Structure 1
């Protein structure tokens, strides 16, 4: 399999700072491989995480630029690797086939899937299930993690 990873484009393993973000201290990062589920992690002013994940492969910047006025609550379970699943409620945006994870605890599972190198599993009750292998942490991801940790310390969260 070592030869396979060498053949993949560099973008398959990278996180990018969202447009307009300081690359040295980003508060929003996303995966840029359009052949996989698009994943975004964001850090609020108090250091809490939130996330967005596409239900099918695609470009997050392109999807988020589209008009998607309607979203609804969706029951789901989430797990990382072989851990036990947890019940969750996410916001599903059907026009762009996107799941928003606003709970810090559940968005942290997305973050941890990347850190641990384990698959992220989301079972949507009425939609397509997600099993995503996230890119390993790179310099952008590490800068994001440091930014969020600093904000959490400053806010006392």
Structure 2
């Protein structure tokens, strides 16, 4: 497996179930963070912290006993940051029929022993698939910046309008 990809597999357990009998969304989010961290740490050879989680889409439920597969792949690097795409699939372990259940983009920052951002190796997309994902990551960077600018302007207005 290439150094910029990682796959985790395990069975969904009864302790992961919500009141509706399916796996908690929070459990899936935890698994996504684990897969993303593993991919980021593997690439950077550093401890990494989650800086951003966005665009999580819960498409289909995961059932208790399903074989869950998380595919994490590096799609873009900055100086100290890594954008990781995580796709989640689930299937009955007695079947080959996997369901695409969840997708998310995460950003991790590599940190040194003092907790300061550390540089990461540059990622150069080598396939058409990885180039498309890299382009997508760059569009998401622009959208996040626009959202941050909008939120800052809105929060400034709230501050001006606050009583007292």
Bigger proportion of residues as helix: 2
Q: Which has the higher contact order (CA 8 A, sep 6+)?
A: 1
Q: Same fold (TM over 0.5)?
A: no
Q: Which TM-score bucket, shorter chain as reference?
A: under 0.3
